[in-house]
Structure 1
Amino acid sequence: MSIHIPRGTQDILPGTSELWQYVEAKAQDICRRYNYKEIRTPIFEHTELFQRGVGDTTDIVQKETYTFTDRGDRSLTLRPEGTASVTRAFVENKLYGNPGQPTKLYYIGPMFRYERPQSGRMRQFVQFGIEALGSNDPAIDAEVMALAMEFYRELGLSGLKLVINSLGDTESRIAHREALINHFKPRINEFCSDCQQRLEKNPLRILDCKKDRDHELMATAPSILDYLNEESVAYFEKVKQHLDAMGISYVVDQTLVRGLDYYNHTAFEIMIEGEGFGAITTLCGGGRYNGLVEEIGGPETPGIGFALSIERLLMALKAANIEIPIEQTIGCYLVALGEEAKDKSASLLFELRKAGLSAEKDYLDKKVKAQFKAADRLEAKYTAVLGDDELAANKINVKEMSTGEQVEVSLDDFITYMQDRLKEE
């Protein structure tokens, strides 16, 4: 019986996993500089969390979740996104009571959505996201967008476009909702069944429909910007003012609607322009979600965040021909000749590694020539040759591979010698 990997998933093998480690380390570093702390939440949660948090009118909840019943007859769902889980943890662990608000968190981990697999879109995918909870300051909206833009810039990407919109506060959204219902209702029978169901429940979701995106009523739909009250207009203007002060260019797109129900006020996406990236041009999306904490049972707490796909990021780096500086060499390869030398090489290898150095040896009883070939494949910086004669003399021969220079070193000094040589490089 041949068992294959499930559709929409992937094995990340050595040679590729180093690329993931590099970009994840970059994400962790920029979060450190912006004072965001890591949070790790369960991969599955109670289904109700996503129904209430993400919204039961979204495609994610209606069509894309991996939901199952456990042995206790509880409905559980593999997390399709990170914000609802982070917000649940924020409420359950009473992080709102900690000093030094707002609470600034980041996460990196797998998410699950039952989608049609395609380039850059998997059923199991990895998201890097941040959440800032507890502040209504427009400056933190700008900070969140700045962090995302700077993350991409530091990885070498260009041709980035920040697209922003305001979804307004509750009052503005109610007015816009009524306008959308009046706009679509006379011809709603021309739309898909999903849109027909959403008309009364959440007409904003119609604007996010992939099936009916080319319908003529989409182009003439009422803009949320025309229904923003004074407070929402002032908030959006302040966000733009902060972006201007940071020198971050942006485009206002009144049709931008994020695919999750919890968004209000600021919404944004980061897109990449240029050849080689294909049809999927959106790298990152996020926005403000005031009211989500209360929906999950916590106190009134504003929030804002973003999430981005690591898979899509790696696609963009590859399309832009950006070389990721991956260190794949090892410090020292031990070549052993003779039974006693082979035995000694095992303890020497342990001592090298204990001293903080990367090192390797042969475990397949290869001939000397094959051991040197293995050292070359691993791009070893140094090869240390130990034979029975050298062992009897308490010596080892060390060769610097880049220059061919060889020296004889006392076994008593070998570890210190290798530490000093590798420290210089």
Structure 2
Amino acid sequence: MEKLQSLRGMVDLLPASIGLWQHVEATARDHFRRARIAEIRTPLLEVTELFARGIGEATDVVGKEMYTFLDRGERSCTLRPEGTASVVRAAIQHGLLSQGPQRLWYGGPMFRYERPQAGRQRQFHQIGVELLGFPDARSDVEAIAIAWDLLADLGVGGLALELNTLGAPEDRIRYRTELLAWLEAHRQQLDPDSQARIQTNPLRVLDSKHPGTQELLAGAPALADALSGESHERFTQVRQGLEALGIPFTLNPRLVRGLDYYSHTAFEITSDQLGAQATVCGGGRYDGLVQQLGGAATPAIGWALGMERLVLLLQQSEAQPWMAAAAPQVYLVNRGDRAEAVALQLCRDLRRTGIAVELDASGAAFGKQLRRADRQGAAWAVVIGDEEAVAGEALLKDLRRCEAPGVEAETVADRTSPGRRLALVEIPAQLAHLLAC
């Protein structure tokens, strides 16, 4: 019988890598707790109209990449391709915005039908922040600072912030007319994808990765020239705020992001360690989205980071604190009928005190179990044989590596010393004390 395989672009997260994912998630949770940002969880499946209306029907996401189908009630449903529209829908539906500004974050899988590659899958994961009801430029600066500090705290190297403004809707309408005329005049010199976007989404042509198109666009009208004085002033405040916080940035007038709902500030945080797929985090302001989805006019800004790309970056790092977190604190070595029964009870007692314990259920020789304990990175081993079980005792062995200068690293598992003999009832308190030191 043929072995079943996962669908292309749907990747299993295996135990060997899950510690890193949990490390990222835990670090993000801590940053959001300190920034007073509350978690929200939305369904993976939404009505298709939410994304068609929110993201924009002319975008690649809606036009080419969504997983959309009819359910048994003949309703058009879509697996969410991004998180912002769902969060805004939930805030409107449950009246959160009537309670004042909302500081929200989310995490979980998203789905887009695109060509899988390193750091980009058809089921991918994001962590995102949405600040709803915050109109001033300081909220843009705060949102960017939260993302920047999180990535820096995780140890991501080579970070760079690219910044642009898309102006107010009136600015973009004015600019779109100028850009459209220019693109039509240069249609034959554009790449095929950009030609197709001229009528549907001309601003997305600015974000083309085609080298010839990019070179040609150097002569295109600049969005900055179409901005109102008010939009210019707002963008100046954002730049000054970032400078005051010591967050370096470069201006990128071609940065427009891929979704229709953005306005004013748009930004991406990249890393020079990711090659072509350099963007780790992206976002911007979307003041019109809440009203577009049926709510009251509400200013908002948000961002999302891609977990797969972030994990790729962190796997290249020499410092790996998540590996230590995955190791058991105590490895319970046991052999013999009586010992195995006693070990199971002791294992449960230790776990109840908050100690991470791995119980060896192999029945192998003591030496083999101790070597396995060492490979797992355990700090301590508790050894119980039938003799110890009858006596109500266990051996406590220190497996921490010797780090004395000039001494080759070794563990107690390699030595002949029997360990320290203690009564079973003393083991939990003694280990708790030793692990706290």
Alignment match, 2:423: 410
Alignment match, 1:167: 166
RMSD: 2.0
Q: How high is the TM-score relative to the length of structure 2?
A: 0.91
How big is the shift at 1:35? 1.5
Alignment match, 1:244: 243
Equivalent in 309, 313, 318 of residue 316 of structure 1: 313
Task: Please give the secondary structure, in 2, of the residue aligned with 1:413.
Answer: helix
Alignment match, 1:339: 337
Q: Which runs of 5+ in 1 are unaligned?
A: none
Aligned length: 420
Task: Please give the secondary structure, in 2, of the residue aligned with 1:73.
Answer: coil
How big is the shift at 1:196? 4.7
Say if 2:28 and 2:150, in contact at 8 Å, map to a contact too: yes
> What are the equivalent positions in structure 2 for 1:386-401 lying under 5 Å apart?
386-401=384-399
Which whole-Å deviations, capped at 9, do the CAs of 1:81-130 have from their partners, x for residues lacking one?
111111111111111011xx421111111111111111111111111111
Deviates further, 6-15 or 380-389:
380-389
Say if 1:293 and 1:301, in contact at 8 Å, map to a contact too: yes
Alignment match, 1:36: 37
How big is the shift at 1:423? 2.1
> What are the equivalent positions in structure 2 for 1:20-35 lying under 5 Å apart?
20-35=21-36
Say if 1:285 and 1:308, in contact at 8 Å, map to a contact too: yes
Say if 1:267 and 1:287, in contact at 8 Å, map to a contact too: yes
> What are the equivalent positions in structure 2 for 1:197-346 lying under 5 Å apart?
198-210=197-209, 214=213, 217-273=216-272, 276-319=273-316, 321-327=318-324, 328-346=326-344
> What are the equivalent positions in structure 2 for 1:13-162 lying under 5 Å apart?
13-98=14-99, 101-162=100-161
Say if 1:22 and 1:326, in contact at 8 Å, map to a contact too: no
Aligned partner of 2:432: which letter?
Answer: Q
Structure 2 CA distance for aligned equivalents of residues 379 and 322 of structure 1: 16
Q: What is the identity percentage for the equivalent residue pairs of Structure 1 and Structure 2?
A: 44
Structure 1 CA distance for aligned equivalents of residues 80 and 158 of structure 2: 32
- The verdict on how the C-alpha distance between 1:322 and 1:416 changes in structure 2, with shifts beyond 3 A counting, is closer
Say if 1:207 and 1:213, in contact at 8 Å, map to a contact too: no
How big is the shift at 1:326? 2.4
Alignment match, 2:407: none
Structure 1 CA distance for aligned equivalents of residues 210 and 428 of structure 2: 65
Say if 2:263 and 2:286, in contact at 8 Å, map to a contact too: yes
- The verdict on how the C-alpha distance between 1:132 and 1:421 changes in structure 2, with shifts beyond 3 A counting, is same
How big is the shift at 1:240? 1.1
Task: Please give the secondary structure, in 2, of the residue aligned with 1:45.
Answer: strand
Residue 419, structure 1, aligned to residue 432, structure 2: yes
Alignment match, 2:175: 176
- The verdict on how the C-alpha distance between 1:282 and 1:338 changes in structure 2, with shifts beyond 3 A counting, is closer
Structure 2 CA distance for aligned equivalents of residues 397 and 335 of structure 1: 9
- The verdict on how the C-alpha distance between 1:265 and 1:125 changes in structure 2, with shifts beyond 3 A counting, is same
Say if 1:277 and 1:319, in contact at 8 Å, map to a contact too: no
How big is the shift at 1:330? 1.5
Aligned partner of 1:208: which letter?
Answer: D
Aligned partner of 1:370: which letter?
Answer: K
Structure 2 CA distance for aligned equivalents of residues 337 and 282 of structure 1: 52
Q: Which runs of 5+ in 2 are unaligned?
A: 401-410
Aligned partner of 2:427: which letter?
Answer: F
Say if 1:132 and 1:304, in contact at 8 Å, map to a contact too: yes
Which whole-Å deviations, capped at 9, do the CAs of 1:239-268 have from their partners, x for residues lacking one?
111112111121111111110000010111
Which whole-Å deviations, capped at 9, do the CAs of 1:198-253 have from their partners, x for residues lacking one?
43443212223445862664222211100001111111111111112111121111
Residue 381, structure 1, aligned to residue 379, structure 2: yes
Structure 2 CA distance for aligned equivalents of residues 302 and 246 of structure 1: 23
- The verdict on how the C-alpha distance between 1:341 and 1:137 changes in structure 2, with shifts beyond 3 A counting, is same
Deviates further, 156-165 or 137-146:
156-165
Q: How high is the TM-score relative to the length of structure 1?
A: 0.93
How big is the shift at 1:138? 0.2
How big is the shift at 1:44? 1.3
Aligned partner of 1:277: which letter?
Answer: L
Aligned partner of 2:179: which letter?
Answer: L
- The verdict on how the C-alpha distance between 1:318 and 1:364 changes in structure 2, with shifts beyond 3 A counting, is closer
Alignment match, 1:9: 10
How big is the shift at 1:314? 1.9
How big is the shift at 1:360? 2.2
Structure 2 CA distance for aligned equivalents of residues 180 and 278 of structure 1: 30
